[in-house]
A = this chain, B = another copy of it.
Amino acid sequence: MAVGAGNRNPEAGPASQQDMRRQNLAVVLGTVADAVAGQGPLSRADVAGLTGLTRAAVSSLVDELIGRGALTELETAPSGRVGRPGRALAVSSCGPAGLGLEVGVSHLGACVVDLRGESRVWRRVERANAGRPARRVLAELAELGAEAQAEAAGLGLHVEGRVLAVPGVVPTARQGLIEHAPNLGWHAVRPADHWPDPDTVPVPENEANLGALAEYWQAEHGAETFVHVSAEAGIGAALIVDGQLFRGARGFAGELGHIPVDPDGVPCPCGARGCLEQYAGEAAVLREAGLAATADPVVLLADRAAAGDPAALRALDRAGRALGLALASAVNLIDPDALVLGGAYAELGEWLLPAVRAELAARVTVRPWDPEALHCSALGRRGALLGAALLTVRRIIADPTLLPVA
C-alpha cells in the first residue's frame, strides 16, 4: 500500500524489459505531474530533456499514458516564441480518480481527488460513531461514498481505488483488517464483511498515516523526513521517511500517545503510567481546562483560549510541554527535517507552539535544532480524508500500468 512500494530492490530479482517500461511510464507521468506552475506546461520534447529519455521513447510512453487516461495533450496558444505552436501535456483533470472515505469518532467523510491531486468532491456529515455497530456505520459510509462517486462521475471522473481512513490499528501483515479502534469500540473489523457492495469495498488505513501522507504530498515545506502528529479522540502520529510512510516492522510505528512523559505520573488506561495521552489528549486537555465534552471541543478550546481564559491557556500550555517532551525523544531517535502539528492540533497551534518549542529547545541540545522546523499543517482536520483519496492517485502516478488501457 505504501507509495513507492513498487521501488525495485537489487536483491528482489532480475530486472526485465517490462520493469523498465513500467518504470519509464512512471518517470514520464511523474515529470508532467511535478511540473511546477512557473515551468509552464511541458511538451514531449521538454519531457525528453528533463528525463534524459530519447524523444522517440517519450512519444511512445506519452501515447500509452494518453491511452490509459492519465495524460491529455492540447494545442497551446502561440507563445510568442519562434516556431510553431507547441502541444502541451497535462495530467488528466477528468478520468482516473481516487475515492477517500473516513470514519471518525464523531463524523463520516467521503471525497474524490483527481489525478492532479485536486479535491473535486467533498462530503462530511456529523455522526456519533463511538460504540455503534461497525455494520451500521459502514453501511452509512458506503452510501455517502456512492453519492460522492456519482457526483464525481458527473464531472467525468472514474474512481480507480478506495481507501478508508480509520482511527485504529491496521496491521501490515493482515491487509483489509482493522485490528483495534479503541475510540470507536471496534475490534477485528474487516470492512469487506460489512460493506453492502462487494465491488466497492475500501482498503482500511490508519488515519494518522493518511494525514501524514497528505501533508507530504500537498504541503510545500519540502521536508522529506518528518513526524506528523494529529489528535482526534486519541493522539495519532506517523513518520514520513525519505518521502515514504514508515510503518515499522508490524505497522505500529508512530505510537506517540503512549510515550512516557512522566514515568511515575498519572495512570493510563493502557496500563502504563504518565503516557503523553494523559497530558495532551483531548479528554485530558478538556479536563484540565475545566470544560465538558461538546460537539466540537476543538473549537470550544480555541474560543476559550482566544478569550484569554486562564484554565484553557494553562491546559494548552501543559499539553504543549508534554508534546514537546515526547517530540524531543522523536527528534533524538529519528532526526527528522520537520515536526508537523496536524489534525486538531493545527487549529490550536497558536497556543501549543510556544510551549512545544520551548521544551524542544531545552531537550534537543546535542545537535542543531531550528525552532522553525516545528510548524502547523495547513490541512488541519481535512488531512486524513484527503490522504485517503490521494493514496490511489499517487499509486497510479508511481505505476501507471495500474490503469486499464482504453
Residue in chain B with minimal CB distance to A246 = B241
A-side residues, CB < 8 A to B, are 4, 6-11, 13-15, 19-20, 23-24, 26-27, 30, 51-53, 57, 169, 223-225, 237, 239, 241, 246-256, 258-263, 270-272, 325-326, 328-330, 332-337, 362-368, 398-399
Pairs A-B, 5 closest by C-beta atoms: A248-B335, A252-B335, A253-B335, A255-B332, A271-B365
Could you name 19 residue pairs across A and B whose Cβ atoms are closer than 8 Å? A7-B7, A11-B30, A15-B23, A15-B24, A225-B249, A248-B335, A248-B336, A249-B337, A250-B337, A255-B332, A255-B366, A255-B367, A258-B364, A258-B366, A259-B333, A260-B329, A263-B325, A272-B365, A326-B329
For A248, list chain B residues within 8 Å (CB): 225, 334-336
For A246, list chain B residues within 8 Å (CB): 241
For A9, list chain B residues within 8 Å (CB): 4, 7
Residue in chain B with minimal CB distance to A226 = B249
**In the bound complex, do residue A8 and residue B11 qualify as a contact, i.e. CB atoms below 8 Å apart?**
no
Question: When chains A and B are docked, how far (Å) is the Cα of A224 from the Cα of B9?
Answer: 15
**In the bound complex, do residue B363 and residue A272 qualify as a contact, i.e. CB atoms below 8 Å apart?**
yes
Question: When chains A and B are docked, how far (Å) is the Cα of A381 from the Cα of B360?
Answer: 33
For A334, list chain B residues within 8 Å (CB): 248, 253, 333-334
The quantity of this chain's copies bound in the complex is: 2
Question: Nearest chain B CB to A225's CB is how many angstroms away?
Answer: 4
Residue in chain B with minimal CB distance to A332 = B255
**In the bound complex, do residue B367 and residue A252 qualify as a contact, i.e. CB atoms below 8 Å apart?**
yes
Partner of A332, one of B57, B250, B258: B258
Question: When chains A and B are docked, how far (Å) is the Cα of A241 from the Cα of B241?
Answer: 11
Question: When chains A and B are docked, how far (Å) is the Cα of A239 from the Cα of B53?
Answer: 37
**In the bound complex, do residue A27 and residue B10 qualify as a contact, i.e. CB atoms below 8 Å apart?**
yes
Residue in chain B with minimal CB distance to A264 = B262
Question: Nearest chain B CB to A100's CB is how many angstroms away?
Answer: 23
Question: When chains A and B are docked, how far (Å) is the Cα of A252 from the Cα of B330?
Answer: 12
Question: When chains A and B are docked, how far (Å) is the Cα of A11 from the Cα of B23?
Answer: 8
For A249, list chain B residues within 8 Å (CB): 223-225, 335-337
Question: Nearest chain B CB to A112's CB is how many angstroms away?
Answer: 25
Q: Which of A53, A224, A367, A398 has the most CB of B within 10 A?
A: A367
Q: Which of A20, A24, A249, A255 has the most CB of B within 10 A?
A: A249
**In the bound complex, do residue B20 and residue A15 qualify as a contact, i.e. CB atoms below 8 Å apart?**
yes
Decide: A261 near B263, CB < 8 A? Known: A251-B335, A333-B254.
yes
Question: Nearest chain B CB to A59's CB is how many angstroms away?
Answer: 14
Question: Nearest chain B CB to A291's CB is how many angstroms away?
Answer: 26
For A237, list chain B residues within 8 Å (CB): 333
For A337, list chain B residues within 8 Å (CB): 249-250
**In the bound complex, do residue B26 and residue A15 qualify as a contact, i.e. CB atoms below 8 Å apart?**
no
For A30, list chain B residues within 8 Å (CB): 10-11
For A225, list chain B residues within 8 Å (CB): 248-249
Residue in chain B with minimal CB distance to A11 = B30
**In the bound complex, do residue A333 and residue B256 qualify as a contact, i.e. CB atoms below 8 Å apart?**
yes
**In the bound complex, do residue A367 and residue B250 qualify as a contact, i.e. CB atoms below 8 Å apart?**
yes
